Amino acid sequence: MPLTDAQLKQLQPKEKPYKTFDGGGLYIEVFPDGAKRWRYKYRIGGKEKRLALGVYPKVGLKDARKRHADAKAQLSEGLDPSDVKKATVAAQAGENSFAAIAHEWHAKFAAVQWSASHAKNIMARLHKNVFPFIGHRPVHEISAPEIIKMLRPIETNGHLETLHRTLHNCGQVFRYAIATSRATNDPTYKLGEAFPKPVKKHFSAITDPEELGLLLTAIDNYHGEFVVKCALQLAALTFLRPNELRLARWDEFHYETVEWIIPIGRMKRLRRDKEANPKEVHIVPLSRQSLAILQELRPLTGEGALVFPGFRGKDRPLSDAALTNALRRMGYSSEDMQVHGFRATARTMLHEQLGVDKDLIERQMSHTVDNPLGRAYDRTTFLPERHAMMQAWADYLDKLKAEELGKVSPIRAVD
């Protein structure tokens, strides 16, 4: 049974230390001298470990449970809570340690330059792959051989993409240390040449009309979670990046203009554009078919902010894995189709099957357009043409599904 405040006050010392558990590995240990210390017992890498969470009553039951929940969250992300604690202590203890400077650099840029998910991924990568090895070291004393030794296990495990991302983040920290007069050189310079490059893989995508019709029919007949089904249907119709789709909010939909208006901070390319105005947006014209899906979904999720809430609460978005797993349950492997592949599908088939101009497609996909008109036209112009294109694409997808069912329906042309 979970502990109560009354029980904690009544715990008395004995001849030997003893433990009283609260649940989930959280317990309080009572010592002969009367001290009461919170501990979290967990396993990682097959080893049992314990994390000190504070001394009672300075750390009460509510705070202990909060610290316990934070440690469990770190563990679920593959991080060792003990390593995270050591790195945090090191960061607080020394202004010139790698961990301290990394936290300072991260805080400076996370709020203004990165998305929340990107910022979270960077810090998780540093906590897991870097801080346990060099986090406590003065940044100006760290050498290239230390970096190489640190990265070798990642290479051995074959995680080359993670290795090069970790190396890149370390280089950013070292260069920030140089800029703030706490280091004189970047030991990561040219170290990427000491490791194999990851093989670039394109997202799998279906570009055959008949195969696409089969996939769309499978999605319409999906018997899993309704929210997942709707998300996949809109992925095909709007061809947004998965993260841009998953994080959709109901207040982004403007029915009077029949448009989905996404803030710049949620768009991958736009948030990387140094010239971008923070008030700029990406506009997704909504087809009749997209509106119908939203109208079906609204009674289910409309009371919350998120259009596609996850299974663990209405305030948490649907995960990438939920959409990917749905495709796998329909029989589509990672070599057949990926959620991100809907973008390549639309990009290819809009041009080849419907004859839409490539520049118009690129603008709708929020890609950079190499055009003398420049970036000013990327965001909001050519909206009538884009509205027509998105409706024609939705009608074309309906046509493919109708052909799959043996009922060919007419298709509207792009004006």
Choose the catalytic residue: 125, 229, 246, 340: 340
Give dist(CA 308, CA 108) in Å, integer. Answer: 31
Choose the catalytic residue: 14, 268, 329, 358: 268
**Counting beta carbons within 10 angstroms of the beta carbon of residue 275, is it exposed (0 to 12), middle (13 to 18) or buried (19 or more)?**
exposed
Give dist(CA 230, CA 298) in Å, integer. Answer: 11
Going by the DSSP 8-state scheme, the letter that residue 200 receives in this structure is P
Location of structure tokens 């406590």? 136
Q: Is 39 considered catalytic here? A: no
Q: Is 268 considered catalytic here? A: yes
Which run of H or of E encompasses 118?
helix 116-129
Other C-beta atoms within 10 Å of 79: how many?
21
Give dist(CA 216, CA 232) in Å, integer. Answer: 9
Q: Is 202 considered catalytic here? A: no
- Residue 394, SS3? helix
Choose the catalytic residue: 343, 347, 387, 399: 343
Choose the catalytic residue: 36, 241, 347, 386: 241
**Counting beta carbons within 10 angstroms of the beta carbon of residue 369, is it exposed (0 to 12), middle (13 to 18) or buried (19 or more)?**
middle
User: Which amino acid would we find at residue 58?
Assistant: K
Choose the catalytic residue: 72, 140, 269, 367: 367
Q: Is 18 considered catalytic here? A: no
- Round to the nearest angstrom and report the end-to-end CA distance of the chain: 68
Angle (nearest 5°) at CA 108 between 378 and 100: 145
Catalytic center residues = 241, 268, 340, 343, 367, 377
